[in-house]
Structure 1
């Protein structure tokens, strides 16, 4: 398995002066944030706009942070206030059932908010190491995928090279980005993380501003905030499909994305077993069943391994 080559980043003090976007590192960070937002965004949903309406005239982009984040409740709150002031962005703190941060577009004339297609999960390297060991890491990523938001940002804070189990962390980051399609971003410290939030907020606002010129005519609209929260709260309820997904992710070659693809075809272990029983006697057809049903979203190795787990174990 390959591993991600993490290079040390600049360190930051936690005073206000260190947060000013004036260094060459800040310039690189700003460009990286804009590139991250504008890359692979063809499928992103848009908030509704009328013909000739401009996004910036109708909506305000607001960063929503989970109220369980440590910096929300500690003296680091000063850093967050500095970010709000220096980048001229709005930040609000609420309880989020999934993720550590999302962005909403708040309508200027109506009491309505739309959840934009971006969500952040922040992990410092120690938290990531612990979640890998107790397997929360896979379950958390599965829940992020099931939110339906298209752009999932996995923010790893700190230097894994000085952490216990460094190779496991690097491998997990590689898998999360290359195999599962998350946008893995590295930050050096809490101050650096909050600075990244600032740049991401500006980049997201810029993306929707440029994409919605002349009105958004997409039929696939962003979900309303209250509907999104209700959907995510339902993710906490363990179902038969959730148990099946957890079992699938123990199979070699089965990532979170593959597990979701299996559930879309066969939501329970019983339904998949019934499909295999219809093909009983044709081992090759059974091995290729999931690959063909998913139109190659599930690769051949994963399809074969799942068949062996379900039918031959």
Structure 2
């Protein structure tokens, strides 16, 4: 009895309002901000009852809040959390002020008021309102006084989650595997195991099979890291994938998987004696596309071959089935139209009269064009799928778009002069070379006598144009004025329409290998092209860059070090760390200065030379300021 008396003596001074459980520790709250959690749960449930899509926004905020381990003093501090915007913080602040008015300015906010029911555990897949049974912690169906044990999540066969798990597992079993997959290669490989498309949503829906990846991440089966995104299996995901693979191959009794609960997106689960709970996957694609995963440096060791054909396919197809199904994995002749895309900057701002004249000339020539934002270049062409309107829908579904291998950068002489002075000219050529299109064109508009009044001599401008064609390898077209520019765009549009009219177009990914050259398939010439969405996203100017890309930009700031020379250096030393390590291994100062001199660059395979090698060495190895 002595230990019990000691315990009772200790708790005599505690407030009577807090019940004391002798011999046990009080359970810690699942969230240090239960008041904010309660309000967000109420907001989510109200939105769900009204059928508002903002319920998903509240659910994401709830998920972020439950992972945050520190108490918040006000809603403004919650802005550091993901999915907490100005709107949600404003609502929480209003509720907090009302709470202070009702309970006093010193009312505690890190514990619920007396008599208030705690919010149910905010599971990402449970958007049903909390029941009294769950809130009060009544006895579950197991009769043990606790909550019913949740069954294991197993994706439905041939669903998106099923295909992703199997694909990641099989890739991890390959000897020498890198242990992860990028988004586009994962989509291409998993498509064979899935009945639903990973890229094209079903009619009347905005979700694809890729939406199930959000569920796999929430269930801790798949982990997403890095930027561009890399997907790999967790230990739990590996164990589940092994069982799915065993069932798939028939080496294990499939009852091990079939007896468990199978849940897919939107499937309703009915518990005995309890309300139906609808499992909704938070599958908004912006989470995946925010950093959009175009791998710009790492080369994926997966040939395009058959992967390119099934990139757009809704169901797995072999080569014979692909030739029979017109819209399965490619755009067949007659199913698309050639469309000229004009950057909106070419129609607004600056000399507006001249830019509007370009649009009027294109309209007068009967050119089919569209004005949109282009992240690189001023003009390009896309093959847009012809889509018939759907009965009962206001607008026709958006057709797929593949970018042809021609992109035009338009330069007036005054613009060329300004871009050379501020460095844009060199940077634009570098981005055009890396955009993924193999036919870059410079359209230069002469200014006549106005060229003599520019900040740079006319000879310098002419030399820059010649270097663009001879040294950089761009095709340069010179015209006199905006009318000739419109005429050239008209002729090019008609030429490309005729060139591609009998071509089968296949989508390729910049992440996957494949030279994209034309090939013969049963006598029908085909081209592999990049989708417009991937091309335009990959050309974003101020996106996150890898260490290799930043290193390349650093090298190109050195006078005389062109893009070809920087690329040659990167082939040997991909990061500054690897270059500095190589310098440390050199025995003498002279050896360090000549380390890069024998590196060959360009088509002629010339050496970088000792002067440029010494300059790079001095830049990266000189202690203190450069003189």
CA distance in 2, matches of 1:118, 1:261: 26
Q: Specify every segment of 5 or more residues in structure 2 that has no aligned partner in the other structure, as ranges.
A: 1-307, 313-321, 388-397, 505-519, 620-627
Q: 1:62 aligns with which of 339, 345, 351?
A: 339
Say yes or no: does 1:244 pair with 2:551: yes
Q: Which residue of 1 aligns with 2:482?
A: 190
**Which structure is larger by alpha-carbon Rg, 1 or 2?**
2
CA shift at 1:252, angstroms? 4.9
TM-score between the two structures when normalised by the length of structure 1: 0.70
CA distance in 1, matches of 2:603, 2:580: 20
Long gaps (5+) in structure 1: 1-46
Q: Deviations over 1:117-175 (max 9, x none)?
A: 11111111001101111222111111111212111111111246641321111111111
Residue 102 (structure 1) shift: 1.3
Q: Give the 3 Å change call, closer, same or farther, for CA 51–125 of structure 1 in structure 2.
A: same
Higher helix share: 1
Tell me which of 412, 418, 431 is aligned to 1:143. 431
Q: Per the alignment, do residues 51 and 228 of structure 1 end up closer, same or farther by CA in structure 2, a change over 3 Å counting?
A: same
- Following superposition of structure 1 onto structure 2, how do residues 2-17 of structure 1 map, counting pairs within 5 Å? none
Q: Could you say which residue in structure 2 is the equivalent of 1:259?
A: 566
The 1:252–1:158 alpha-carbon spacing in structure 2 relative to 1, beyond 3 Å, is: same
Aligned mates of 1:143, 1:258 — CA distance in 2:
16
- Summarize the Cα distance change of 1:171–1:273 in structure 2 as closer, same or farther, 3 Å threshold: farther
Which of 99, 120, 128 is equivalent to 2:416? 128
Aligned-partner Cα distance in 2 for 1:244–1:59: 41
Find the aligned partners of 1:182 and 1:295 in 2 and give their Cα distance: 15
Task: After TM superposition, list the pairs within 5 Å mapping 1:275-286 onto structure 2.
Answer: 275-278=582-585, 280-281=587-588, 282=591, 286=595
Tell whether the 8 Å contact from 1:160 to 1:170 is kept in structure 2 after alignment: no
Equivalent pair of 2:564/2:602 in contact (CA under 8 Å):
no
In the other structure, the counterpart of 1:310 is 616
Quote the residue 2:401 is aligned against: 113
Aligned in 2, Cα 1:146/1:237: closer, same or farther, shift over 3 Å? same
Please report the RMSD computed on the Cα atoms of aligned residues, expressed in angstroms: 3.4
Gap change, CA 1:161 and 1:256, over 3 Å in 2: farther
Return the offset for 1:56: 4.5
Q: Relative to structure 1, is the Cα distance of residues 269 and 306 closer, same or farther in structure 2, using a 3 angstrom cutoff?
A: farther
Does the 8 Å contact 1:98/1:144 carry over to 2? yes
Question: Map of 1:24-35 to 2, 5 A cutoff?
Answer: none
Q: 1:4: which partner in 2?
A: none
Cα distance in 2 for residues equivalent to 1:270 and 1:149: 31
Structure 1 296/156 Cα, relative in aligned 2: closer, same or farther at 3 Å? closer
**TM-score when normalising by structure 2:** 0.37
Q: Which has the higher contact order (CA 8 A, sep 6+)?
A: 1
